[in-house]
Amino acid sequence: MEQLVQWSYDRYTNIELVDGEEEEKEEDTYRVHPHDIMRANQLAGPLLLKIVSGEMLLEDDLDDERSNRAARLLAHLSGRGGFKTWGAAPLLAKKLLQQNIIPDIASRDILELGTGTGMVGLVCDKMGAQSVQVTDYHPSVLENVAVNVALNEAKATVSKLDFVEVANSQAPEWIAKRFDIVIASDLLYEMEHAENLPVAVDMLMENEFYFMIPLRDTHWPEVHRFEEKMEQLGLQQRLCIDSERQEEEGIVRYRYYEYTRLP
C-alpha cells in the first residue's frame, strides 16, 4: 500500500517545465492511474478507517504507529497525495515550483484567497516569499490551515477573509490592505463568485493576480463573467493558458491566468 502511495505521489509531482510538456523520459516513469487509487480506497479504506478510529487495536506499543500510518494512507486515498480533492491547487503549486512564474518572489508580499489546505500559500512561503498571508472564510478550514502552517514550520500567517464580504465593503479590516500579489485557485463555482472575486482582487491587489481554475461544462457562465468583470475593472489579462489532466472522473481541463493592472 505504501508503495502505491509513493507511485501516486510521483504521478502528481513529476517535473513539468512548461504546460503539458514533461521532462525527457518522464513518460517512462511508472505513475499510478487515478483508477488504481480509487480501487485501493474501495479495498483498503474501510480497514484503514477502523484502525484510525481505534476499532482495531492490538494493545501493544505499536498501536500509535499503526494508527498514524493508517491515517496518512487514508488521507492519500481520500484525496491525491494528501491534497484536498480540488484539482487546481496542486497544479498551481507545481507551476510555482517548477516554472518560476514569480522570479522575484523573495521581495513579494503574497495574499492567498480561498486557501483550503494552505498548500499554495505554503509553497510560496517555502520558496522564500517576503510575506505570505493565507486566508479563507470558514472557521474549521482556518483551524486546519493553522495546523498545516505549524507542521511545516512556515512563517505564513492565517486570517479570515471572505472575498464576497470584501467586495461588498463588509470587511472593514481589509479595506486599506494591499498586497504585491494575490493568488488563488478553484474559486468560480457560483455566479456570486464571478461577480465578487474581481472586485475583491481589485481592492486587495497592488500589482499581479495569479489564478488557476478547472473548466467545467456546468460553469462556463461563471468563467465568462469573471473574465468580463476583470476587464471592466481595468485588470489586464497578461496570460491565459489551458491544459488537460487525467482525473478520477476523466480528462479535466484547467485554465491558468495572470493579471496585471493597466498602466
Task: Give the residue extent of every domain in the chain.
Answer: 2-82, 88-261
Residues of the chain scoring pLDDT < 70: 1-42, 45, 49, 52-54, 68-69, 71-86, 247-249
pLDDT recorded at residue 3: 66
179-236: pLDDT as tens digits = 999 999 999 989 999 999 999 999 999 999 999 999 988 999 999 999 999 999 999 9
Amino acid at residue number 214: P
CATH of 88-261, one of 3.40.50.150, 3.20.10.10, 3.30.1360.170, 3.55.50.30: 3.40.50.150
Tell how strand 205-215 and strand 109-113 pair up. Answer: unpaired
CB burial of 123-145 (b: ≥16 within 10 Å; e: otherwise) equals: bbbbbebeebbbbbbeeebbebb
Residue 88, C-alpha cell as written in the block: 487546481
Check residue 260 and report its DSSP letter: E
How confident is the model at residue 87, as a pLDDT? Answer: 75
Helix, strand or coil for residue 209? strand
Sorted by sequence, the CB contacts under 8 Å of residue 39 that are 6+ apart come out as none
Grid coordinates of 240: 491565459
Separation of alpha carbons 133 and 111, rounded Å: 5
pLDDT at 243 (0 to 100): 92
Whole-number Å distance between alpha carbons of 162 and 139: 11
